[in-house]
A and B are shown apart, each in its own frame.
Chain A
Amino acid sequence: MRNYTPLVTLLLIYAVMIAIGQGIQGMWQPIMLVIFYIAVGQALNIFLGMTGYVNFGYVALLGVGAYGMAVALGYYTDLGLIPALTLGFILAILLAFIVSMVVGGIALRLRGAYFAIATIGVNEGIKYLILGGKIWGGSSGIVLSGILRKAYGAETMRFLSTVFADAGLIVVAILSGIITMYILNSRLGYGLIALREDEDAAKVMGINVRRYKQIAFVISCILAGLIGATAWTLKLTYVFPQDVFAINYTVEAIVIVMLGGAGTLLGPVVGGLIYALLKYYLTIAFPGMQLLILAPLLIIVILLFPEGVVGYLAKAARGTRFEKFVR
């Protein structure tokens, strides 16, 4: 039975967030932080939530996406603004696609724990390839602000790094949600959930588990690359390997998915909301201690609420008239 009604809830949440951000003075920054974390969670959820496989190299995909955009804007400035931006998105998608095909092609032949181990080296590997091989500026990164100002003027640069970057991120976030809903309602989604519950049984039932996992992995990675391109390169106008390959984003994404409810549409939204607001106000109250608070939180969620908030709500809503709106 196809059911797209949870999308109504999703779009409603975005509408309310954008209205609050635009309407109330000083709220746009926290709202964009929330949307960033929702997007990060939603993209990871497509793989981790639906297959039960852990990708410890997740942030590397945001990193290569960020580099794809930075390389296009920084090295192909002569093309003009629109072609360079288009090239940026293409490169971000392409790099994420290549990395996910290589990593997935090798690591997805392995089951569960072995897959997770294989992904442990991905982030460090790419980071040190760039640092050690002195690729794309090595440790000095790519700084775009000067280049962009010179080529397109200060006004255009400000537009790019504010309105355009934010709008791009919102589009990617909503797109991730729509793709999640589509997968949940499709043959792919049923196959993935079957293999998450019992991979051998799914295989026996004729599901091409290897292919299904690979598709979910590539989709999740490409969306991550687009988040890196918009939320980091366009918004911050610089890319440094130490920043874009920082492992704490992988942790944060996992916490968001687990907190909200793995394998659900609204899970990352709820998880992202709770997490980003917690982080925003905790950073003010206890600077530098987010991870110290976060790690025990993740352990508690795993031990006590393995289904997450939305998993719990969906159970509670079963049989009521809200049933169709929560998933």
Chain B
Amino acid sequence: MAFVEQLISNLLYGAILGSVYGLATMGLSLIFGVLRIVNVGHGAFIMVGAFIAYWMFILYGIPPLISLFLAIAVGMAIGLAIYMLVVKRLVDAPELASLLAMFAIGIFIEEFAKQIWGADYVGYSWEIGGVSMLFTEVPFTKLLAFASSIVIAAVVYVWFRKTKIGKAVRAVVEDREGATTCGIDVNRIYALSFSLGIGLTVLSGVLVTLFTPVGINVYMGGEYTLKAFVIAVLGGLASPWGAFYAGFIFGLIENGSYTLLGLIPGVEPFGLTRFLSSVVLMLVLLVKPTGLLGGE
């Protein structure tokens, strides 16, 4: 059964890609969970990470796994700068203000990047062989992306659970006034969470490039913004862990439906999967706005 084989290998691929999707959404959920700010410009930061991976590889031959460290450092610096300049003043402002500001920041980053890097599609390929799994050949690069997503998510998890500052972040999420009374500097926690959220997002952009051989472009983020919101909503929006698990679910839905939609004659399945993402987003918000995985 060629179709079943294709479906199974696509689902396997979906699970691998889903781990990266999950990681790419953790930053969004972290920022919403702590600051109650929706980062509508999310995709632009993924694009920054993708370009970091591209340039490090092309200019210095540095493999993407090493670029991860640079990406999180750059991302955290950008995040801190945005927090200090803009977000700090909008934490207690009406939602309208922070939504529009994040939207504008995302566009600014894209347009700024266009001035530096141009509007062309670029890409690189990092060939290190592959391994045969089930019915398909999976490149090592994708397995490495899978493994590093899980390791990074686990590190963040342990950091939140075990360290003092991670506990302080959770305390602020739980009760801002209470945390202040206990001597936690809420402003610092906000700054840290925001820059960590952006850092994780930029970092995930590096891993995204392992799946899009020639898809690096300054406007590539829009697609990931939409996907990230579908995933974040599936995972309960405010929970980074929910987002990580929901990433897997979304990867499976996306690749499974791609195979199934391919059976319909006369349509273009890739476009329809993107239509499906927005339908899933609407349906989840309609049926269970707190997320499929429970949420708060």
- Point out residues on A near B: beta carbons under 8 Å: 48, 52-54, 56, 103, 106-107, 109-110, 112-114, 116-118, 120-122, 124-126, 128-129, 131-134, 138, 247, 251, 254, 258, 262, 289, 291-292, 294-296, 298-299, 302-303, 306
* Interface pair A124/B274, CB less than 8 Å apart: yes
For B100, give its contact among A103, A258, A296 (CB under 8 Å): A258
* Interface pair A121/B268, CB less than 8 Å apart: no
Residue B89 at the chain A interface, CB threshold 8 Å: yes
* Interface pair B115/A122, CB less than 8 Å apart: no
Q: Rank and list the top 3 A-B pairs by shortest CB-CB distance, nearest first.
A: A132-B271, A121-B278, A125-B278
Residue B129 at the chain A interface, CB threshold 8 Å: no
* Interface pair A132/B267, CB less than 8 Å apart: yes
Q: Which residue of the partner chain B has the closest CB to A254?
A: B100
* Interface pair B268/A52, CB less than 8 Å apart: no
Residue B266 at the chain A interface, CB threshold 8 Å: yes
- Chain B 271-287 per-residue mask, 1 if CB under 8 angstroms from chain A, else 0: 11111011101100110
* Interface pair A125/B285, CB less than 8 Å apart: no
Most buried by A among B94, B115, B266, B271: B271
Residue B104 at the chain A interface, CB threshold 8 Å: yes
Size of B's binding interface in residues, CB under 8 A: 52
* Interface pair B286/A121, CB less than 8 Å apart: no
15 contacts between A and B (CB under 8 A): A52-B95, A117-B232, A118-B281, A120-B229, A121-B226, A121-B279, A121-B282, A126-B275, A129-B272, A133-B267, A289-B115, A291-B110, A298-B101, A298-B104, A302-B97
**B-side contacts of A103, CB under 8 Å:** 282
* Docked complex Cα distance between A124 and B229 (Å): 13
For B271, give its contact among A109, A128, A262 (CB under 8 Å): A128
**B-side contacts of A133, CB under 8 Å:** 267-268, 271-272, 275
* Interface pair B38/A116, CB less than 8 Å apart: yes
Most buried by A among B93, B267, B270, B279: B267
* Docked complex Cα distance between A219 and B94 (Å): 24
Q: Which of B281-295 contact A (CB under 8 A)?
A: 281-282, 285-286, 289
**A-side contacts of B222, CB under 8 Å:** 124, 247
**B-side contacts of A291, CB under 8 Å:** 107, 110-111
Q: Which of B74-130 contact A (CB under 8 A)?
A: 86, 89-90, 93-97, 99-101, 103-105, 107-108, 110-112, 114-115
Given contacts A120-B226, A251-B103, whether A132 and B282 have CB atoms under 8 Å apart is no
Tell me the minimal C-beta distance from A243 to chain B in angstroms: 15
* Docked complex Cα distance between A112 and B268 (Å): 34
* Docked complex Cα distance between A294 and B226 (Å): 23
* Interface pair B285/A132, CB less than 8 Å apart: no
Tell me the minimal C-beta distance from B52 to chain A in angstroms: 21
* Interface pair A54/B107, CB less than 8 Å apart: no
Beyond A125-B274, A254-B103: 7 further Cβ-contacts under 8 Å? A48-B96, A114-B237, A114-B285, A116-B95, A128-B274, A133-B267, A303-B90
Q: Which residue of the partner chain A has the closest CB to B274?
A: A128
* Interface pair A109/B286, CB less than 8 Å apart: yes
Given contacts A106-B285, A132-B274, A291-B107, whether A113 and B38 have CB atoms under 8 Å apart is yes
Given contacts A128-B272, A128-B275, A295-B108, whether A113 and B285 have CB atoms under 8 Å apart is no
* Docked complex Cα distance between A283 and B32 (Å): 36
Tell me the minimal C-beta distance from B255 to chain A in angstroms: 16
